[in-house]
Amino acid sequence: MAESLLKSGTTKAEQYEALIQQLMHLIGDEKNTVANLANVAAGLKQYFGFFWVGFYLVENMELVLGPFQGPVACTRIGFGRGVCGSAWKQNKSLLVPNVEEFPGHIACSSLSKSEVVIPIRKNDLIIGVLDVDSDVLNDFDDVDVKYLEKLCDWLSTVL
């Protein structure tokens, strides 16, 4: 069966709402973690054209690279390290308008300029993070955070 995503909506909020609906439909009652994370990463990349979209999953007090779309990336990130490890440690989403101004930012690619990281929680425990990178400075705002959080809240129910 062919699967495709249709971009619709005028505002970014409407576009996210349309994307989330389609991802929910695409994933349905599938519970395979790799398959679902892979399709969400691909969906975000295809729909918005972000530079890098992917997941890091908690394993033995480290974040380990999961399904992603974009250039190759670092495999392991320690607790409290970089933007991803900081979002995990601080237990909150982090919006970084300029990665060069974030102390300890891990530059997997020198082309990445701004970044947003959203924790994924299951039973109040962080099981991983969604990391979205842009090659444009200041490319994310509160709308991205709001809808990516919404996406991750739903995603945790199908993992």
Residues forming the site for ligand SME (CB under 6 A) = 52, 73-74, 77, 82-84, 105-106, 108, 112, 115, 131, 133
Q: How far is the CB of 11 from ligand SME (least distance, A)?
A: 27
Q: Is the dihedral of CA 42, 28, 119, 5 positive or negative?
A: positive
Task: Write down the least CB distance from residue 19 to ligand SME, Å.
Answer: 21
Produce one character per residue of 72-88: b if its CB has 16 or more CB atoms within 10 Å, e if not. Answer: ebeeebeeebbbbbbbb
Pick the closer one to ligand SME by CB: 113 or 151.
Answer: 113
Give me the least distance between CB of 135 and ligand SME, in Å please.
11
Tokens of 127: 């099981």
State the minimum distance, in angstroms, from the CB of residue 143 to ligand SME: 21
Q: Label the pairing between strands 76-78 and 94-96.
A: unpaired
Q: Residue 84 or residue 148: which is nearer to ligand SME going by CB?
A: 84
Beta strand 62-69 with 52-59 is antiparallel
Which residue's Cβ lies closest to ligand SME?
A: 82
Q: Which is nearer to ligand SME, 17 or 102 (CB)?
A: 102
- Give the residue from 12, 4, 6 showing the smallest Cα distance to 139: 12
- Nearest CB to ligand SME, comparing residues 36 and 112: 112
